[in-house]
Structure 1
Amino acid sequence: MSSTTISPEILSLIDPVVSGLKRHQIVGDKVIALAICHLLMKVISAARWTNPYDLINIIRKVGTILHTAYPRKIITGNIVRRVLAIIRDEIETENSNNDNTPMMSSMFSLLSTNSNTSHKVQHNQSKKQSSDFRSVVIEGIRDLIDEIANVNEGIETMSVDLIHDNEILLTPTPTSETVLQFLIKARAKRKFTVLVTESFPNDINTAHNFVKKLADHKIETILIPDTTVFAVMSRVGKVIIGSSAVFANGGCISNSGVAHVVECAKEHKTPVFALAGLFKLSPLYPFNGDDLIEVGNSGKVLNYDDFKFVENVELVTNPLDNYIPPEHIDIYITNVGGFAPSFIYRIVLDNYKTEDNKLE
């Protein structure tokens, strides 16, 4: 068996996560990201390899399997690519250290009379090097886990500077925990009103719970129907949206219904702030937007009980997401600062390696 073949031991580690993704039992962007991080730590600990590039091939194969399990969830690929970047950085560090190593050791090997002893020493050294390499990479993944776990804290710190007293805010993403914590944090020093769209048909219950949580923190909150967005936009100071993935071109994936809200905001010249943790930034480009959109239960749009209507309709679709082009977003608020959509590609280059853009 070649060193880059995925062993049965590693497959047994991957299978529970793959089935969890396929059945949508692992839900929530942060939960998925952390699950992938912990899985890759186990894979790196269990994998057998002599060359770090063998480890890269194993991780790429694992990434391809995870992507196939849930193709529209961009975050799985992001985490795999971030881990690959950690491995490649460590290879570069080791190579630069080796370049500075004096030639004395190679001179000694030339003078050595016992080639078997020399071979044994080299084998022990490579074993120690792979063990050290493994521990450094795992430490890098632990740092990534800390970054993801504390992602909201970095974003929250900017809330007080961005929100003003007596301002009216609008959010069409009541499913976003990041947006919720951002608003709660701002309330500590600012008094403002939040308009929350009802998010028909998929997130009505979530929207009601979101409003209740904001009200519990003494934030004046109003739940509005999706159809009234254009009417109220002239009074809105800022639109704040959550996102599930941000692409290298500055576009993002957000909840269904957000596209028409940001369109209204652009018409009224209302600034749109998109909140996204660094782990949601992807090196990919959205060449085909339709492939990125997940479709849900059509029965929520047109109930099956209304069979008279159903007979006269050719197709009923219920998209769960919208693609938001970069020109409809003014600034991205991340845990490492605020950036214009046109600058996202630069942040991506700092965190990913271009050779890993395609995992296959």
Structure 2
Amino acid sequence: MSSVKPSLSELERYLKSLKGKTLEASIDSLISLLKRRQISGAEPCAVATAHILLQVVAKTRFQDVDQMLEKVQQVGCRLVAAQPKELVVGNIVRRVLGLIRDEAAEDRNDGGDETPSDVQMTPTAAVADASKLEHHWPPSTYTKQDAGADYISSGPRPVRPGALTSASSFSVPKTLLSLLEAAPTVDVHSIASGSPYIGTGSPYIGGSGVSTPMRGQQTRVNAIRAEIIDGIEEIKDEISQVDDQIASAAEVQIHPMDYVLVHQPSATVQKFILRAAAKRRFTVLIATEAPRASSDEPPSCSALGRCSPMAAS
């Protein structure tokens, strides 16, 4: 148990230093602590990894979700390379990456469901050929009857074009947005000649609205960032409660008169054994390294032996 205390103190010291350091300095500091094994053990490494990934997501400015994934993956690879034996570091990194992918997929699905309710038609789109609407009155086949402009034809009477169908009719815009979207056609020659009415601020060119999609994209990224931060906070809560959750299954896993073999039990294993020893009688066999000269009994043995007289070693 005493071997875990230095890691916990180093962990607490590192977590307090996150507020006064930049992101890169915090990442380098954690990598150095992992390499020197000043932070070791499953729970301290998991807590430190979750905190630094939370800082990466919260402090880094991203243009899209792909950049967020790339940044978290780069930092995760550096942490895993610093201490490959601590598998929990890679597990936390994968949890966060999966969380980002899930939030990105959900955002894409929500955006794909939004379809325009109807298609706005402009006059040029409604009528493809304006010449079809013209009335052709051949002068050779018609004679004027009187001054009232009534014509009498010796041949077949021309057919007046009927009402336009719904597919080709001109739909009158119903909203102000429809009026704004129905912009007039821009003459290419006026653009080439440098007309003062054509420019980034002109209503006839879409340059003035370029920043609107950018703001919308940044808003979506910020919304995803908030969801991911909440998810990482939930991961931190799971880490703090994992010992209690594992210990709650001790009475089901260990039966009376069982023989339990453990190797250098960690704090989680000790809590698991002691929870079962409260209501069960069983034998615990502890495999550990050679005792030090200052003590003939390993710390884990003394910790388990003092807690309950029902646990035998």
Give TM-score, length-normalised by structure 2: 0.61
Match of 1:139 in 2: 230
Is structure 2 residue 159 aligned with structure 1 residue 69? no
- Which residue is 1:331 aligned to? none
In structure 2, distance between residues paired with 1:106 and 1:137: 36
Give the secondary-structure state (helix, strand or coil) at the position aligned to 2:263: coil
Select which of 111, 120, 124 maps to 2:181.
111
> Measured at CA, do residues 207 and 67 of structure 1 come closer, stay the same or move farther in structure 2, by a change above 3 Å?
farther
Q: Does 1:123 align with 2:214?
A: yes
Distance in 2 between the 1:206 and 1:98 partners?
Answer: 66
Is 97-106 or 178-187 further displaced after alignment?
Answer: 97-106
Deviation at 1:131, TM superposition (A): 1.3
Could you tell me how far apart the structure 2 residues matched to 1:206 and 1:176 are?
A: 19
Aligned length: 214
CA gap of 1:54–1:156, structure 2 versus 1, over 3 A, is same
Cα shift at 1:216: 2.1
Q: Deviations over 1:331-353 (max 9, x none)?
A: xxxxxxxxxxxxxxxxxxxxxxx
Query: Are the structure 2 counterparts of residues 177 and 54 from structure 1 closer, same or farther at C-alpha, using a change threshold of 3 Å?
Result: same
Aligned counterpart for 1:33 among listed residues 46, 54, 58? 46
How far the C-alpha of 1:206 sits from its partner, in A, is: 11
RMSD of aligned residue pairs (Cα, Å): 2.9
Deviations 1:285-336 (A, max 9, x none): xxxxxxxxxxxxxxxxxxxxxxxxxxxxxxxxxxxxxxxxxxxxxxxxxxxx
Deviations 1:141-196 (CA, angstroms, capped at 9, x unpaired): 1111111111112211211112222x142323223222111111112322223222
SS of equivalent residue, structure 1 residue 185: helix
- C-alpha displacement of 1:15: 0.8
Query: How far 1:28 moved relative to its partner?
Result: 1.3
In structure 2, stretches of 5+ residues that fail to align are: 1-20, 121-176, 184-202
- The counterpart of 2:99, out of the listed 63, 80, 86, is 86
Q: Is 1:193–2:206 an aligned residue pair? A: no
**Aligned residue for 1:217?**
307
Task: Flag the 1:132–1:105 CA change in 2: closer, same or farther, 3 A.
Answer: farther
Deviation (angstroms), 1:89? 0.4
Structure holding more strand per residue: 1
- In the TM superposition, residue 210 of structure 1 has moved relative to its aligned partner by 1.5
Instruction: Confirm or deny: 8 A CA contact 1:175 1:206 kept in the other structure.
Output: no
Change (3 A) 1:220 1:102: same
Cα distance change, pair 206–58 in 1 and its aligned pair in 2 (3 A): farther
**1:205/1:153 Cα in 2 relative to 1: closer, same or farther (>3 Å)?**
farther
C-alpha displacement at 1:102, in angstroms? 2.5
Assess, with a 3 A threshold, how the Cα gap between structure 1 residues 55 and 105 changes in structure 2: closer, same or farther: farther
User: What is the alpha-carbon distance in structure 1 between the residues aligned to residue 309 and residue 285 of structure 2?
Assistant: 11
Q: Which residue of 1 aligns with 2:271?
A: 181
Contact 2:262–2:284 (CA under 8 A) maintained in structure 1: no
3-state SS of the aligned residue for 1:13? helix
Give the Cα separation in 2 of the matches to 1:127 and 1:206.
62
TM-score (norm 1): 0.54
Shift in Å at residue 36 of structure 1? 0.5
Structure 1 pair 215/112, CA: closer, same or farther in 2 (3 Å)?
A: farther
CA deviations on 1:64-109 (whole Å, 9 max, x unpaired) are 2112212232222221111100000001111111111132599769
Q: Distance in 2 between matches of 1:155 and 1:37?
A: 20
SS at match of 1:172: strand
CA spacing shift, 1:189–1:117, aligned 2, 3 Å: farther
Tell me if structure 2 keeps the 8 A contact 1:33–1:79.
yes
